[in-house]
Amino acid sequence: MGPKQCQVCNEAQSKYKCPSCYVPYCSLACFKNHKEFPCEKPSAQEDKTTAVSESLVEKPLIVDEPIVVLQKHQLDAIVSSNEIRDALNNKALQELVCSINCSPNPENELDKAMAEEAFHLFTDKILSTINP
């Protein structure tokens, strides 16, 4: 899924999304034009569905080594772990994950993150959760 068209002027490719309703727009002028009318944040369910579907489409999954793909029971263990949930509240870890996710070269960012204590502790918790 490539760049979307500006939903305000319908002429240019969007570069931004409205922080309230996530409508794509291309410029400050279009943002101001869009904000002349009230907009609402999508419901939590719509928001989750959109975020998941966009991230799956925009970032294709490429797995070079199939042995590193987790099984469903391992993913379920991660999701249900209070220890991992608590670790995700660490601001340093959140910043590292964001830098990896937003990077044009995520593998390089991942290598950098592995040197950070917060990331190392987090990965240790995941490994102990999926390999008890």
Q: Quick one: pLDDT at residue 2?
A: 56
Percentages helix, strand, coil for the chain (3-state, rounded to 5) are 55, 5, 40
Tell me the pLDDT of the chain (132 aa) as tens digits.
456 888 889 898 988 888 888 888 889 898 888 888 887 776 655 444 454 445 444 555 555 655 567 788 888 888 898 988 888 888 888 888 888 888 888 888 888 888 888 888 888 888 888 887
Q: Quick one: pLDDT at residue 56?
A: 44
Q: Quick one: pLDDT at residue 49?
A: 46
- pTM for this model (two decimals): 0.46
Q: Quick one: pLDDT at residue 63?
A: 55
Q: Quick one: pLDDT at residue 53?
A: 46
